[in-house]
Structure 1
Amino acid sequence: MGVATTRSQLCLKRLLAEPQENLPKCKLARLETSHSASGLSSYLTPTIPAPKSSPSQPPSRVGPYLLFVSCEREETYRAVHTSTQKQYTCQVLPLRGFQERLAAYERIGKHDNICCLQDVVVGQDNLYVFLPDHHGDMHAYVRSRKRLDEEEAGRLFAQMLNAVVHCHHKGVILRDLKLRRFVFMDQYRTRLALLGLNDSVVLHGNPDNDFLRDRHGCPAYVGPELLNNGNGSYSGRAADIWSLGVSLYTMLIGRYPFQDTQPAALFAKIRRGVFSLPSGLSPQAKCLISCMLRKVPAERLKASELLMHPWLTTNPCVQHHNVHKTHHNQNTMQNKQMEDDQVVPTWTEKQ
């Protein structure tokens, strides 16, 4: 572990142990955004896109960092350290309840496919979490490529799965899991990492008890149990697996398995849980997707079980990347009319 990472971990431990009212607040320019920094928007409520930066608009300053407005997603900024000129990704979180949001970083520790916390700045009203700079996210990549071939998809999905296996093993439920949360750490777009854990839930007590009650997630990726159970509880790990299934389907086919421009119609399709798989997919790929997109949560494979699926274990590209590395180290189209559907839609900014 590098010196910077060690320092950030020590800082994180101090922040988690210190009462919030005792923390020093830095003075900074208020960020000009058109929406709140809550990060807890319901999946039923679309958010307003962040304003694009203007060349003449000066950046805001947060401690030793300059923040530039990002057009990628809400409350995420490109940051530059004024002394080292090193670039980072900054996520803005509400100060209230920040310790619960940061707890996942301490629980997770260091992992090749999860972006480590680099620094934290406590502001007057918000918390500024600094993560490594990246080279774009999977949502944008799939949108630009239309769809991925099975070898490339297998290599990238294996890394996504490694991150989820590690989180689940550590008792962290990711909840708002989607393609946009995975970013490329190299310019050649071969190495993926999960960016941001602030939407996660850290399990306490019995690690097998992963039942949650709050509804949180992106419309296209939310599981049917979150729509059918009313206020009842659901398995957080199983919900993450459903979202992984939606992700792999989208990577291979270029559109969501369930989609509609109207949220009510979209949720009705998700509740039915009926989707089609093109004949061009290999039987192993179809099987893996079906193992995740099962309407009954208890019938879905666990993340660690997915690692052993033939589509991953018999794919030479995936084997070269060593898909089982994390598991062991942690001990444990159709036709022209559908052409528009072949591109990942952007009808809601929460995708």
Structure 2
Amino acid sequence: MNVQRTSPVSFLRNGRYKRIESDEPVSKCPRLSDSSGDAGYLSSLPGSPLWAAPFNGTPTHQGPSRIGQFLLIPIADRDGVYSALNVHTGDESLCKVFDMIQYQEKIRAHSVLPAHRNISHIKDIILGERKAYVFLEKDYGDMHMFVKSCKKLDEELASRLFYQVVSAVAHCHQAGIVLGDLKLRKFVFSNKKRTHLKLEGLEECHMLEEGNDSMSHKHGCPAYVSPEILNSSGSYSGKQADVWSLGVMLYTLLVGRYPFHDSDPSALFSKIRRGQFCLPDTLSPKAKCLIRSLLRKEPWERLSATEILIHPWFHSAQETGSGEQEASAADQTVPTFCLDDDESLFC
């Protein structure tokens, strides 16, 4: 097979960029013991021959598939995302599969966004005829599932995790990027102790022109949508809408349920438009202050992402504990917001 190698793209920091000729469907993955010595190998040496078992990126079967030296296993509840195992080195990573006509636009924000410790970066890209395989760092589960497995987080742990979330959002805003579909699922743990978070991708973000964050896009998770998006038929501030979503995330971390919850979409949106929510007495005054500063009906009254980072709640909450806490799975219960009335509303 003739395989064309291309030059590394500028935003692949310490990564590789490869091209394969075909990515037709395969019915199953061959047993590794049946593979020849160079089967599935994509050499990193310039000019080396490359080979890849065909793969279309959207298999109808749920078993593993093969692309180059990577074994791809679908991840439940994450469409187009696979756990990738390098069969030669044993290294694990994450693979996102995009149509070729879309992939450059999907990863374009990585080319302008400076590196940040709380944002995942692209390690490798393999291009087929119809699909692009984008490899990122392995993760250890997302925040949605973590909160779903816990009733709620204590303020010390919540402050450590939420600070990392806001740091990533502030970094994007400063670079002229609005995330637009902010939610707990967007943040994943990058270590086994589940103390370090990263924004797992920038596919749904919006790159601003000349600093103007006026937007009219209405896509997003219903549970996180801001009142002005529901009320306005025109434009709204993308950054301020992101801050509202941060408020929903913080409330959920500390209370164990969404601030606005209803299985009926119309009722849910009515509650969001009113902007009225209850704060438990168990929360500290500074935690209540921060939540109220984010979940304000009027967008211009909300803190900016940068201002959130200097809120005194972070300092006071972390004074109650020392060091990084490892999240325990023991005695964890499903929170009330995870009732199966309509999971699609609460993504």
TM-score (norm 2): 0.78
**Counterpart-to-counterpart distance in 2, 1:162 and 1:298:** 20
List runs of 5+ in structure 1 lacking aligned partners: 1-6, 14-22, 35-50, 322-338
Q: Is the 8 A contact 2:123 2:136 kept in 1?
A: yes
Question: Could you give the per-residue CA deviations for residues 295-327 of structure 1, whole angstroms, max 9, x where no partner exists?
Answer: 111111100011111101333359988xxxxxx
Give a deviation string over 1:154-185, Cα, whole Å, max 9, x none. 01100111111111111111111111111111
Distance 2:105 2:337 in 1: 36
Matches for 1:263-278 after TM superposition, within 5 Å: 263-278=265-280
- 2:219 is aligned to 216
Task: Give the counterpart of 1:342 among 336, 341, 347.
Answer: 336
Moved over 6 A (4+): 318-321
Give the letter for the 2:275 counterpart. G
Seen in structure 2, the aligned counterparts of structure 1 residues 156 and 286 have a Cα distance that, compared at 3 Å, is same
Instruction: Give the alignment of 1:75-224 within 5 angstroms.
Output: 75-204=80-209, 206-207=210-211, 209-224=212-227
Q: Any conservation in 2 of the 1:212–1:233 contact (CA below 8 Å)?
A: yes
State yes or no: 1:29 paired with 2:31. Answer: no
- What is the CA deviation profile of residues 28-59 of structure 1, one whole-angstrom value per residue up to 9, with x for unaligned ones? 3234557xxxxxxxxxxxxxxxx8x4xxx3x2
Higher share in helix: 1
Task: Indicate how the Cα distance of structure 1 residues 115 and 96 shifts in structure 2: closer, same or farther if over 3 A, else same.
Answer: same
Is the CA contact 2:275–2:297 (under 8 Å) kept in the aligned structure 1? yes
* Greater gyration radius: 2
Segments of structure 2 that go 5 or more residues without pairing to the other structure are 1-6, 14-18, 24-53, 324-332
Higher mean C-alpha displacement, 88-97 vs 294-303: 88-97
In structure 2, C-alpha distance between the alignment counterparts of 1:185 and 1:318, rounded to whole Å = 25
2:315 is matched with: 313
* Structure 2 CA distance for partners of 1:270 and 1:123, relative to 1, 3 Å: farther
Describe the shift of the 1:194–1:282 C-alpha distance in structure 2 as closer, same or farther (beyond 3 A). same
Count of residues in Structure 1 that have an aligned counterpart in Structure 2: 298
Identity %: 44
Q: How far is the alpha carbon of 1:108 from its aligned partner?
A: 1.6
Q: Which has the higher contact order (CA 8 A, sep 6+)?
A: 1
Residues 242 and 294 of structure 1 are in contact (CA less than 8 Å); yes or no, is this contact kept in structure 2? yes
* Contact map agreement 2:12 2:123 (CA 8 A) in 1: no
Q: Contact conserved, 1:9 with 1:117, CA < 8 A, in 2? A: no
Amino acid at match of 1:161: V
Superposition TM-score, scaled by structure 1 size? 0.77
Give how far 1:25 is off.
5.2
